[in-house]
């Protein structure tokens, strides 16, 4: 089952939120909204719910710039900033404060979708963050020991091929983050992902099937549609 990508849009223009929200939901995203910085801060107490935030620069009270400055570097949630002014200084300041992309309003919804997907691809864990683990990992009742290349679930050994073990190791080592199919293909299969290449999907599917026999209905590896895969921390 695919997991929808949940976006948080922070903008005081409720009509714009409705219009953009309808378009993005039609494109398969799940939307939540906040209309000022305080409401956004409240929602961001559970930042793991969101894969990306769309943030308006100009809002009453604390601006989007203020909010961005407050959440960085505590939260690494990808952020696309929107502004109605389109001034270079706003764009530069936003990027310097940690925004991942910048789009002027009114924006083309198709361009916004393209930028969201591009930011999500770029914001996946970088290779140095997803190196093969050098210490045992325990997540969601699964214990993985890279030293002896063994996996146990509930104390029972899980038989995996070498490639399946590597898939699970990289995903568990990046628990809570999304790894793109492109990156996982390069890390595990040591080649570039090509058009119509389903090899990594097959390996992930086999890992899921084997885990599913031990974990009953607990699905710990989620498909993030159009991006890649995520091991759910504490599932």
Per-residue confidence (pLDDT) for residue 2, from 0 to 100: 45
The pTM assigned to this predicted structure is 0.54
C-alpha to C-alpha distance for 232 and 221, rounded to whole angstroms: 6
* pLDDT tier, 130 (very low <50, low <70, confident <90, very high otherwise): very low
Q: Are residues 21 and 105 in the same domain?
A: yes
Nearest to 229 by CA among 214, 213, 207: 207
Per-residue confidence (pLDDT) for residue 32, from 0 to 100: 95
Out of 122, 142, 177, a domain closes at 122
Quick one: tokens of 33?
Answer: 């909204």
Q: Are residues 158 and 117 in the same domain?
A: no
CATH of residue 142's domain is 1.10.10.10
Asked whether the CA dihedral 130, 133, 139, 145 is positive or negative, the reply is: positive
Q: Are residues 108 and 162 in the same domain?
A: no
Instruction: Please determine, for residue 76, whether its predicted confidence score (pLDDT) is greater than 70.
Output: yes
Q: Are residues 92 and 176 in the same domain?
A: no
Q: Are residues 82 and 131 in the same domain?
A: no
Out of 101, 122, 143, a domain closes at 122
Phi–psi pair at 148, nearest 5 degrees: -105, 0
Per-residue confidence (pLDDT) for residue 164, from 0 to 100: 92
CATH of residue 94's domain is 3.40.50.2300
Q: pLDDT digits over 144-183, tens only?
A: 998 888 999 988 999 998 889 989 999 999 888 889 999 8
Provide the residue range defining the domain that includes 49: 2-122
Q: pLDDT digits over 190-229, tens only?
A: 778 888 889 999 999 999 999 988 886 568 999 988 889 9
The total of structural domains in the chain comes to: 2
Q: Are residues 166 and 180 in the same domain?
A: yes
Tally of CA atoms within 13 A in the half-sphere of 140 that contains its CB: 21
Q: Are residues 135 and 90 in the same domain?
A: no
Q: Are residues 108 and 132 in the same domain?
A: no
Q: Measure CA 44 to chain center.
A: 15
More confident site: 127 or 19: 19
More confident site: 233 or 27: 27
Answer whether 50's CB lies under 8 Å from 42's CB.
no
The share of the chain scoring above pLDDT 70, in percent, equals 86
| DSSP element (H, E) containing 208 | helix 199-215
What's the rounded mean pLDDT across residues 94-108?
Answer: 78
Q: Are residues 29 and 68 in the same domain?
A: yes
Quick one: tokens of 10?
Answer: 């922070």
Answer whether 116's CB lies under 8 Å from 80's CB.
yes
The packing angle between helices 162-173 and 199-215, to 10°, is: 80
Per-residue confidence (pLDDT) for residue 105, from 0 to 100: 83
Instruction: Please determine, for residue 133, whether its predicted confidence score (pLDDT) is greater than 90.
Output: no
Question: Which residues, 6+ apart, have CB-to-CB distance to 116 below 8 Å?
Answer: 7, 24, 29, 52, 54, 80
- Name the DSSP class of 5: P
Q: pLDDT digits over 141-154, tens only?
A: 899 998 888 999 98
Q: Are residues 58 and 134 in the same domain?
A: no
Instruction: Please determine, for residue 79, whether its predicted confidence score (pLDDT) is greater than 80.
Output: yes
What's the rounded mean pLDDT across residues 120-130?
Answer: 59
More confident site: 17 or 127: 17
Per-residue confidence (pLDDT) for residue 144, from 0 to 100: 95
Per-residue confidence (pLDDT) for residue 128, from 0 to 100: 41
C-alpha to C-alpha distance for 208 and 149, rounded to whole angstroms: 18
Per-residue confidence (pLDDT) for residue 233, from 0 to 100: 81
Q: Are residues 82 and 182 in the same domain?
A: no
Out of 122, 137, 154, a domain closes at 122
Strands 137-139 and 142-145, bridge-based pairing: antiparallel
Task: Give the residue carrying structure tokens 């090899």.
Answer: 199
Q: Are residues 26 and 113 in the same domain?
A: yes
């Amino acid at each position: 089952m695919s997991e929808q990508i949940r976006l948080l849009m922070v903008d005081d223009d409720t009509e714009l939120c409705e219009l953009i929200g309808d378009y993005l939901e039609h494109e398969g995203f799940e939307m939540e909204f906040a209309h000022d910085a305080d409401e956004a801060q409240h929602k961001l107490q559970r930042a793991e719910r969101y894969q990306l935030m769309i943030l308006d620069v100009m809002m009453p009270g604390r601006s989007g710039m203020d909010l961005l400055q407050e959440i960085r570097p505590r939260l690494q949630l990808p952020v696309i900033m929107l502004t109605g002014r389109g001034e270079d200084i706003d764009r530069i300041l936003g990027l310097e404060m940690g925004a991942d992309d910048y789009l002027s309003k009114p924006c083309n919804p198709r361009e916004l979708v393209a930028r969201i997907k591009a930011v999500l691809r770029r914001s996946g864990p970088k290779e140095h963050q997803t190196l093969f683990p050098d210490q045992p990992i325990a997540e969601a009742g699964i214990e993985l020991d890279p030293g002896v290349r063994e996996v146990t679930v509930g104390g029972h050994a899980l038989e995996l091929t070498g490639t399946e073990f590597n898939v699970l190791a990289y995903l568990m080592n990046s628990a809570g983050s999304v790894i793109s199919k492109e990156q996982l293909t390069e890390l595990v299969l040591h080649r570039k992902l090509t058009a119509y290449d389903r090899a990594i999907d097959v390996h992930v599917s086999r890992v899921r099937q084997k885990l599913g026999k031990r974990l009953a209905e607990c699905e710990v590896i989620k498909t993030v549609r159009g991006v890649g895969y995520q091991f759910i921390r504490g599932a």
